[in-house]
Amino acid sequence: MKKNFTMAGRSFSAQEGVLVIAEAGTGHEGDPDRLEALVRAAKQAGADAVKFQMVFAHEILHPETGIVHLPGGPVRLFDRFRALEQNPSFYETAVRLCREESMIFLCSPFGLESESLLAALSPPAIKIASPELNHFPLIRKAASRGVPLILSTGVSRLGDIEAALEAAAGAPAAALLHCVTSYPAPEEDYNLRVIKTLAAAFGVPVGVSDHSTDPALVPVLALSQGACIVEKHICLSREGDGLDDPVALEPDDFGAMVQEIRRAQGLPEDRILSYISTAYGPDRVRACLGTGAKRLAPSEQENYGRTNRSIHYMSALPAGHTLSADDVAILRTEKILSPGIGPEYLDTVIGARLTRAVRDGAGLKWDDLVSRG
């Protein structure tokens, strides 16, 4: 069972020192001043790395995914993601700012285009977000870059994680982040004993990506279970317009979290549990630790098959049409579209003929197809 994660010439573990990732995501909103402020805030809070998200809406969603209700009114979810897109030079600036602050630059791609642009920035590792855990073309491409992969495992089952690690086999190393894909995620859904389960099952280092709102409970308890990485969202203000600002920690709270992590790292499990039980109460701690059996958390069960990827049609097509690569895409389904079959079947369906007319955006079903040829 491997407990250390090595990246950028450094080794991270619950005993030697945890890798603390400040997830800035898209909270910069494309503003260079906000970008700089986020990097500096993460540095001052004591994080080791700042992570961003390289978003291109067409790699993530179909244009007809549906509507989100924001304070300014209803907006197409696709358009909200398009507003997060930045030029490659923006991420070059992020790399430079991280280097100036002696911070590790990390970023999540969401498709082959963003992965290629990210690889050109020579990151020390590539982070795969939970919804992309079954985006096998993306994982295989990222694994070919010669750097470690960090894979979040929210809204997944053991078989999904096994398949993702098989796709990542070409990478020099891989780590898993236990995660609950809910915003915010209830602490009692975290089942943190699963960190040991995943480490034993797959023989890779494991950490936690925490979407709960408490600064310390999940991160410190995760250390008691051997977590070598803690990732948590950071924002300048929870009142900001960033997509994840409502569930992120403001700089002072992020700094308090880091202090608690540094205080706990290296301590034996029983001492961490005693300390955190005194602060939060034994009942709350037991609920957060859970059983250790890997399962979908109650708060994320409805997301399974929708926030992760499946094959969707990119236009309305008639019966008898022979599918080409341009007719389909590996996308998140989200709320109103119908999920399709898994991305692992993409090569199988190219060249197949439709038995019936299909709607733009619908998930591809086996019943839609007749044999290739």
Peptide bond into 74 cis (omega under 30): no
pLDDT in tens, 3-47: 899 998 999 999 989 999 999 999 999 999 999 999 999 999 999
Distances (CA, A) of 205 to 5, 47, 127, 227, 259: 6, 19, 14, 8, 22
Q: What's the confidence (pLDDT) of residue 183?
A: 87
Helix (H, G, I), strand (E, B) or coil at 80: helix
Same domain, 339 and 240: no
Same domain, 317 and 208: no
Domain of 18, CATH number, reads: 3.20.20.70
Boundary of a domain, candidates 299, 317, 335: 299
Same domain, 187 and 324: no
Among all chains, which residue has been given the structure tokens 């994660």?
A: 5
Cα–Cα distance between 348 and 133 in angstroms, integer? 20
Residue span of the structural domain in which 41 resides = 5-299
Buried b / exposed e along 254-281 (16+ C-beta atoms within 10 A): bbbbbebbeebbebeeeebbebbeeebe
Q: What's the confidence (pLDDT) of residue 70?
A: 64
Q: How far apart are the first and last CA of the chain?
A: 47
Q: Which residues contact 123 (CB under 8 A, 6 or more apart)?
A: 105, 106, 107, 147
Residues in the chain: 373
Q: What's the confidence (pLDDT) of residue 243?
A: 78
Same domain, 340 and 239: no
Number of domains in the chain: 2
| Burial category of 101 from C-beta neighbours within 10 Å (exposed 0-12, middle 13-18, buried 19 and up) | middle
Same domain, 193 and 332: no
Boundary of a domain, candidates 243, 274, 299: 299
Cα–Cα distance between 291 and 271 in angstroms, integer? 20
Q: What's the confidence (pLDDT) of residue 245?
A: 81
Contact 319, 365 (CB under 8 A): no
* Residue 142 CB-half CA count within 13 A: 35
Same domain, 248 and 323: no
Domain of 329, CATH number, reads: 3.90.1210.10
Q: What's the confidence (pLDDT) of residue 372?
A: 58
Same domain, 284 and 335: no
Same domain, 202 and 179: yes
Same domain, 282 and 360: no
Same domain, 71 and 48: yes
Same domain, 110 and 256: yes
The neighbour count for residue 125, using CB atoms within 10 Å, is: 26
Q: What's the confidence (pLDDT) of residue 71?
A: 61
Boundary of a domain, candidates 284, 299, 314: 299
Tokens matching residue 98: 């991280």
Per-10-residue mean pLDDT, the chain, length 373: 86 94 95 97 98 97 86 83 95 98 98 98 98 98 98 97 98 97 93 97 97 95 97 91 85 97 95 96 97 95 92 97 97 93 96 96 94 58
Contact 257, 47 (CB under 8 A): no
Cα–Cα distance between 227 and 105 in angstroms, integer? 21
Contact 245, 238 (CB under 8 A): yes
**pTM, whole model, 2 decimals?**
0.95
Same domain, 208 and 342: no
